[in-house]
Amino acid sequence: MTYRSRWDNGGWNVICDSCGRKFKDSDLQLRWDGLMVCSADWEVRQPQDFVHGVADIQAPKWVRAEQSDHFLFQEVDQEESIILVENLSTRILSPSSIDGSALNSLGLNS
């Protein structure tokens, strides 16, 4: 819409904030960003400006406190454990284990 040289009772001349052309005050509209613009420069606000995000609850529904570690200790005499390992190795490597079963050579089969 271009400027028309006319007389309006109570009207005045204004400049469009967007294009800078001269219009009558009744020809301008207030745009969503606060500018007074002519009908050619008037635009609807983007609908995506009104979209709100949905809160995403990332916490689990229920949790447990971390339990403390429980270790079971059994005291073993150092010398006894060395003797047991030596006896076990001699029984496994003995020639009798080749002839019979491993359970017999270890004395586990009773």
Domain ranges of the chain: 9-40, 75-110
Kindly state the percentage of the chain with pLDDT values over 70: 59
Q: Compute the average pLDDT of residues 9-15.
A: 87
pLDDT exceeds 70 at position 33 = yes
Q: Compute the average pLDDT of residues 79-104.
A: 55
CA distance 3 to 25: 11
CA distance 84 to 90: 10
Residue with tokens 């390992």: 85
Q: Compute the average pLDDT of residues 31-46.
A: 93
106 to each of 56, 91, 92, 99, how far by Cα in Å?
Answer: 63, 6, 7, 13
Task: State whether CATH 3.30.60 applies to domain 9-40.
Answer: yes
Its pTM stands at: 0.43
pLDDT exceeds 80 at position 72 = no
22 to each of 7, 8, 35, 63, how far by Cα in Å?
Answer: 14, 15, 15, 68
Q: Compute the average pLDDT of residues 70-89.
A: 63
pLDDT exceeds 90 at position 92 = no
pLDDT exceeds 60 at position 107 = no
- 58 DSSP 8-state letter: -
Question: How buried is 23 (Cβ within 10 angstroms: 0-12 exposed, 13-18 middle, 19+ buried)?
Answer: buried
- CA 71 vs. chain centroid, Å, equals 36
pLDDT at 97: 47
